[in-house]
């Protein structure tokens, strides 16, 4: 699991950044709202993350 942590965090960071950029495009947001509102509902909170939720838990455990 430790061997996979770094690459997994990198992948999640790239995905989050991609979703953030995607959701700045109003045409994409309109299309998602019309055709896939459930996806938009899931993408928005991910795009708004400022840090990974479990990263704070891990730093608290180390301190």
Q: What pLDDT shows up at residue 63? A: 44
Residues of the chain short of pLDDT 50, as ranges, are 59-63
Helix axes 2-22, 37-47, angle to 10 degrees: 110
Which letter does DSSP use for residue 1 in this model? -
Cα 38 to Cα 57: distance, rounded to the nearest angstrom: 29
Taking a C-beta distance cutoff of 8 angstroms, is the pair 47, 16 a contact?
yes
Q: What pLDDT shows up at residue 56? A: 53
């Amino acid at each position: 699991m430790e061997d996979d942590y770094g690459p997994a965090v990198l992948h999640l960071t790239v995905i989050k950044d991609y979703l953030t950029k995607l959701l700045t495009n109003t045409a994409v947001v309109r299309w998602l709202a019309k055709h896939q509102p459930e996806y938009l509902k899931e993408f928005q909170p991910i795009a708004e993350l400022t840090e990974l939720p479990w990263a704070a838990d891990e730093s608290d455990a180390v301190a």
